[in-house]
Amino acid sequence: MKKKKLPPFDRYAHYFRAVQSPEADCQFISDSYKELRGHRPHDLREDFCAAFALCCAWTRRNRHNRSIGIDLDQEPISYGQTHYLPKLRPEQRKRVRILNGSVLTAKVPHVDVVIAFNFSFCIFKSRLLLRRYFKSVHKGLRQDGLFILDAFGGSDTQEANEEKSKIGNFFYYWEQGSFEPITNEAMFHIHFKRKGERKREKVFSYDWRLWTIAEIRETLHEAGFRRTHVYWEGTTRSGGGNGKFKRTEVGEECYGWVAYLVAEK
């Protein structure tokens, strides 16, 4: 019998299935804003938006919602324009604006919430640059605005290693290629493997500094944010993350963790 031919490899579609959950992120954004501000936010800016899946999800969930995405790289933006934007109704599309530029210098209207997800701010390796970025976010927020970002850590991030997961009909690999204990710099790679094919190495790579939650909070305060909160993930019976995040000042020592940070202007 002839083998079924796989469709052409689409790195953004694989990335989306392996690491993104825009609907759950939007729910967290809306709920944490309501918890801290007493009402729901409508205007959102997604920094490091890449193919801006979250901007599209945000705009789709409420007729008053608007989104602005910023990314340096036109390639993922073009992917979003041809793959995600057409899935919105024409009226919804008008409420999404995408800018090809740097989050450090982009001129954008004030918003209720700025988000920076999937650890993208780790591109800034010095405290000076991180503070400069946080200051520009602070300036871009309305008076009662919130900045929401995510962070990761745990003992596994202090050494090179690779984690493999099965996602539907392919394998997803998250490789930490290196860890430098003096600078806290680390290289990360995403690989994919489809059935019957060779492993596709380094489909995405990230050259980051690993920031601790304490450093991120201190830098947020230095940039002008009045209060910062940490939302820690709950655990399943088997010890994995359960996808439910609660505000707390007490974390849990583990091999790997992901947390949301929320900063109040």
Ligand X SMILES: C[S@@+](CC[C@H](N)C(=O)[O-])C[C@H]1O[C@@H](n2cnc3c(N)ncnc32)[C@H](O)[C@@H]1O
The rounded distance, in Å, linking the Cα atoms of 261 and 232 is 9
Instruction: Give the residue, chosen from 103, 146, 261, 263, that forms a contact with ligand X under the rule CB under 6 A.
Output: 103
CB of 249 to ligand X, least distance (A): 26
Assign 176 to helix, strand or coil.
strand
Smallest gap from residue 206 Cβ to ligand X (A)? 6
Element (H, E) at 14: helix 11-19
Among 118, 136, 176, 219, the residue binding ligand X under the rule CB under 6 A is 118
Specify the residue, 65 or 118, whose C-beta has the smaller distance to ligand X: 118
CB atoms within 10 A of CB 224: 15
Helix (H) or strand (E) holding 35: helix 22-37
Residue 123 is a binding residue for ligand X (CB under 6 A)? yes
Find the binding residues for ligand X in span 189-208 (CB under 6 A).
none
Could you say which residues in the range 36-55 bind ligand X, by CB under 6 A? 48-50
Provide the b/e sequence for 235-250 (b: ≥16 CB within 10 Å): eeeeeeeeeebeeeee
Report residue 100 as tokens.
Answer: 């090809």
Q: Which residue number, 22 or 41, has a Cβ lying nearer to ligand X?
A: 22
CB of 207 to ligand X, least distance (A): 10
Within 17-36, the residues that bind ligand X by CB under 6 A are 20
Task: State both tokens at 130.
Answer: 């991180």
Minimum distance of ligand X from residue 53's CB (angstroms): 7
Fill in the amino acid letter for 226.
R
Does 102 bind ligand X (CB under 6 A)? Our answer is: yes
- State which amino acid sits at residue 55: C
Q: For residue 228, what are the β-bridge partners?
A: 263
Contacting residues for 5 by C-beta, under 8 A, at least 6 apart: none
Determine, following the binding rule CB under 6 A, whether residue 140 of this chain makes contact with ligand X.
no
Stretch that binds ligand X, among 35-43, 79-87, 112-120, 179-187 (CB under 6 A): 112-120
Q: Which of 127, 76, 130 is nearest to 103 (CA)?
A: 130
Q: Contact letters (x/-) for ligand X, 66-95, by CB under 6 A? A: ----xxxx--x-------------------
By CB under 6 A, is residue 176 in contact with ligand X?
A: no
Structure tokens at 115: 């988000």
The residues binding ligand X (CB under 6 A) are 20, 48-50, 70-73, 76, 102-104, 117-118, 120, 123
